[in-house]
Structure 1
């Protein structure tokens, strides 16, 4: 049902939450789970909460050392946050994002949803690399959700939309297009190159350049980039930096 969706748990603290997340994946038809550098890892404690249906997902999950490795190969990355304001602007609810995510999956794109550690969530730097941020509305008096609860809510909205959307079941299999889209790691390379380019022409402020780059990131992440478009912008960056460097040498 949600074969092109992957749940990414970043640095989870409790094995039981990983097991419960695996169970949520099984409940909602999402077979893909990636765990980044889990703390206090214990397969037995995780398996006790996974139940028999979630055990297969738990056994097949990928365990990696860092977030860039976990997100390699995805075309769309969503991050989750309970905090708002500052860097965390333009937040979507899971119900609003579900239609976009399901459409992306139906187009054969690979989609990842990142959940942060139970005790602190994702940092500003970690949310920065996510194309869109999701937040789950809760009562102000009890805004903190258990990690597995949050996973279940997001998966439920995606599952519900895929069931309610006739195209999810009745449409023919989509023609794979993932090879034509820039991957997450390629977009990160583009953003780093663009940051250097804007710094070279004195567009960016000297302090907190990542913060000033955030609107540029969000603007470019509104629509997926084809690889030809990625190559074009990389070429523009190279040419602009060459001109800036030439002008700097002339002034010197």
Structure 2
């Protein structure tokens, strides 16, 4: 069997509220098989290392023992530059969904350039909710036969990592020119989107009662490019100025 170590070192698998410790063990094995050493658990309801370990086997136990636990999804994702959420359901708010293969070359390039990428998997019985999907940003789905769309958690992880491992094999010697400034983290991107939403609300661009829905196209727009720290500072400054001008206009309007 061919072995290509370190290809997915900058990739993190995030399991949100995994129900069964055994599935976490199998996922750790899948991560080890494809060279992904980073595993995070978010709010696991019944985490038990002893139940997970037999399913991890060999090198998977190394992944298992180095995993980290997190109280919520935003804190788990905060240091990452690009975040993918996985879903078996489509339609409604779940648009612009791609397959792991379709994004593989893009992910491989990001990983080779040192970007921190995360892929999030939801609970085995229900997957990620709309709110959790919204936090993730970009969406992935794994094509299956229409009569059997449910995959075992570790199977889903293995399929995603396999596509990205294949694409990364051709990027292992890629060298890039250092950027002007570092990439923004997921936390910084969310801070900016919150500020954009506040500015648009102050301008009455959309209304309070369904702001999250109307922000979806804006979120998708920002997910189409790599945001760097100097660009973040520029856009945050624009948002602050817009909110200041909106406040000033409101004051002038109500002054006698």
TM bracket (short chain): over 0.9
Pairing partner for 2:188 from 179, 186, 189: 186
Query: Equivalent residues in 2 for 1:233-248 (5 A)?
Result: 233-248=235-250
Pairing partner for 1:55 from 37, 40, 61: 61
Cα RMSD of the aligned pairs, angstroms, is: 1.4
Flag structure 2 segments of 5+ consecutive residues without an equivalent.
1-6
Moved over 6 A (4+): none
C-alpha distance in structure 1 between counterparts of 2:218 and 2:173, whole Å:
38
- Pairs aligned (count): 248
Flag structure 1 segments of 5+ consecutive residues without an equivalent.
none
- Residue 171 in structure 1 maps to residue 177 in structure 2: no
Query: Does the Cα contact within 8 Å between 2:28 and 2:63 map onto a contact in 1?
Result: yes
Secondary structure, aligned partner of 2:136: coil
C-alpha distance in structure 2 between counterparts of 1:131 and 1:64, whole Å:
19
Q: Tell me the residue number matched to 1:44.
A: 50
User: How high is the TM-score relative to the length of structure 2?
Assistant: 0.94
Residues 135-178 of structure 1, C-alpha deviations (whole Å, 9 max, x = no match): 00011100011111100000000111122x2xx23335x56659
Secondary structure, aligned partner of 1:235: helix
Q: Tell me the residue number matched to 2:37.
A: 31
Secondary structure, aligned partner of 1:233: helix
Quickly say closer, same or farther: Cα 1:30–1:178, change in 2 above 3 A.
Answer: farther
Quickly say closer, same or farther: Cα 1:178–1:140, change in 2 above 3 A.
Answer: farther
Superposition deviation, residue 52 in structure 1: 1.4
Q: Tell me the residue number matched to 1:144.
A: 150
Query: Does the Cα contact within 8 Å between 1:101 and 1:158 map onto a contact in 2?
Result: yes
User: How high is the TM-score relative to the length of structure 1?
Assistant: 0.95
